[in-house]
């Protein structure tokens, strides 16, 4: 068994392997966040190197030409889904030279970028064990010798790859032992809800999703190949976040329709039921009269209140005094986890939260929850 790591540990490994220019092979269940950690690591490295981050797959052909021309200005993240590739997509197409006795290979533009002396970035071969064996074999030389045909990859680039587990019914191909021996190896485990929430807050995930998964943590990653339900994964929740941005909060029929396709019918029905909690409470009245919190016994409603109050703070509809009053009332009720969640969301929404709060809050109370605003 290879070393199992969490998302934070994988982030450390990405930086360490990039620094030493040794390839790393990452295994993990589908939708668990392998490519997300890779992309986040690339962004962090670009900031450390003070280069502009470029995601190669998301720019136009003209923009790619600009990146190749002025490669010293950029840190480039190239995500290649090998399951979609043919061997010639990596190796290039043969082109007979004038003497008709020899050939050269016309390589893809990203390979030309890797040759440039001042270029820098991460080359990520995703879904490596879903690719056909001929494509996998074409990666041997890249991973070990850092060479594409006769072109050498410069010493700045980090090379990584990722693959699914055999147990995922993903029709994987067994990676040859010599290929595996040319890389470090690890398996990415699922994230805890706390760690996922920290990531979600930094990446603009809808507060209803954050509150629901804080309430129903077992639904963060839920797959069963026997029940014929749509799988519920980290990637699915990110997908749902994009899908519901423009849906009116009270349009529950559309919310259920979209959610069912994104995360599965069973989980979606509970998520929509959670969102309907807004019909049961007068959030503005609770903000004006925090003591009413003691009348609320339903845990799900409290999660909804916390996310709703944080949203109003972000939108300047609740001031710091209101957040403090809600926090103190929750603390009196012994709802420590709700105070913590409220502070974490508010801090993520507004950079000024920490300084504003410390001006208002009692020192002993602040010390009790200090780790959530550090």
| Same domain for 356 and 256 | yes
| Same domain for 181 and 207 | no
| Same domain for 225 and 168 | no
| Same domain for 225 and 179 | no
| Same domain for 138 and 31 | yes
- Which of residues 188, 209, 242 is at a domain's end? 188
**Full 3-state SS string of the chain:** CCEEECHHHHHHHHHHHHHHCCCEEEEECCCCCHHHHHHHHHHHHHHHCCCEEEEHHHCCHHHHHHHHHCHHHEEEEEEEEHHHCCHHHHHCEEEECCCCCCEEEECCHHHHHHHCCCCCEEEEEECHHHCCHHHHHHCHHHHHHCEECCEECCCCCEEEEEECCHHHCCCCCCCCHHHHCCCEEEEECCCCHHHHHHHHHHCCCCHHHHHHHHHCHHHCCECCCCCCCCCECHHHHHHHHHHCCCCCCCCHHHHHHHHHHHHCHHHHHHHHHHHHHHHHCCHHHHHHCHHHHHHCCCHHHHHHHHHHHHHHHHCCCCCHHHHHHHHHHHHHCCCHHHHHHHHHHHHHHCCCHHHHHHHHCCHHHHHHCHHHCC
| Same domain for 140 and 46 | yes
CA distances from 139 to 89, 239, 246 (A): 11, 31, 42
Residue 145 has a pLDDT of 82
| Same domain for 250 and 181 | no
| Same domain for 158 and 30 | yes
| Same domain for 298 and 178 | no
Residue 326 has a pLDDT of 93
pLDDT digits (tens, 9 = 90+) for 277-311: 878 889 999 999 999 999 998 899 999 999 999 99
Q: What percent of the chain has pLDDT over 70?
A: 86
Q: Which domain holds residue 94?
A: 3-188
Identify the top-confidence range among 80-94, 100-114, 147-161. Answer: 147-161
For residue 82, name the pLDDT band (cuts at 50, 70, 90): confident
- Which of residues 148, 169, 188 is at a domain's end? 188
| Same domain for 77 and 62 | yes
- Which of residues 138, 166, 188 is at a domain's end? 188
CA distances from 294 to 18, 76, 146 (A): 52, 52, 63
For residue 31, name the pLDDT band (cuts at 50, 70, 90): confident
Q: What is the mean pLDDT of residues 326-347?
A: 90
CATH of the domain at 160: 3.40.50.300
| Same domain for 276 and 160 | no
pTM of the complete model:
0.77
Residue 91 has a pLDDT of 60
pLDDT at 235 over 70: yes
- Structural domains of the chain, count: 2
| Same domain for 210 and 166 | no
């Amino acid at each position: 068994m290879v070393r199992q790591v969490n998302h934070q540990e994988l982030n450390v490994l990405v930086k360490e392997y990039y620094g030493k220019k040794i390839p790393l092979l990452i295994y993990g269940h589908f939708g668990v966040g392998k490519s997300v950690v890779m992309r986040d690591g690339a962004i962090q490295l670009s900031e450390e190197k003070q280069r502009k981050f470029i995601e190669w797959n998301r720019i136009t052909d003209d923009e790619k030409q600009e990146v190749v021309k002025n490669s010293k200005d950029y840190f480039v993240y190239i995500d290649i889904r090998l399951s979609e590739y043919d061997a010639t997509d990596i190796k290039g197409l043969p082109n007979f030279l004038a003497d008709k006795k020899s050939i050269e290979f016309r390589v893809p533009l990203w390979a030309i970028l890797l040759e440039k002396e001042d270029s820098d970035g991460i080359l990520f071969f995703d879904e490596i064990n879903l690719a056909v064996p001929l494509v996998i074999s074409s990666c041997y030389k890249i991973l070990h010798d850092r060479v594409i045909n006769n072109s050498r990859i410069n010493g700045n680039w980090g090379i990584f790859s990722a693959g699914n587990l055999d147990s995922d019914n993903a029709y994987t191909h067994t990676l040859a032992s010599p290929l595996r021996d040319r890389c470090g190896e690890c398996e990415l485990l699922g994230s805890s809800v706390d760690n996922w929430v920290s990531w979600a807050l930094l990446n603009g995930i809808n507060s209803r999703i954050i509150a629901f998964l804080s309430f129903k943590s077992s639904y963060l990653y839920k797959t069963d190949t026997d029940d014929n339900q749509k799988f519920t994964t980290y990637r699915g929740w990110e997908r749902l976040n994009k899908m519901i941005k423009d849906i009116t909060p009270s349009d529950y029929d559309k919310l259920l329709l979209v959610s069912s396709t994104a995360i599965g019918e069973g989980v979606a029905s509970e998520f929509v039921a959670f969102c309907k909690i807004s019909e049961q409470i007068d959030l503005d009245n609770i903000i004006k009269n925090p003591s009413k919190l003691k009348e609320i016994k339903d845990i799900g409603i409290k999660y909804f209140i916390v996310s709703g109050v944080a949203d109003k703070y972000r939108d300047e509809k609740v001031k710091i005094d209101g957040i403090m009053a809600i926090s103190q009332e929750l603390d009196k009720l012994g709802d420590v986890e709700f105070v913590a969640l409220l502070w974490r969301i508010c801090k993520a929404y507004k950079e000024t939260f920490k300084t504003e709060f410390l001006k208002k809050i009692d020192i002993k109370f602040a010390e009790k929850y200090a780790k959530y605003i550090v």
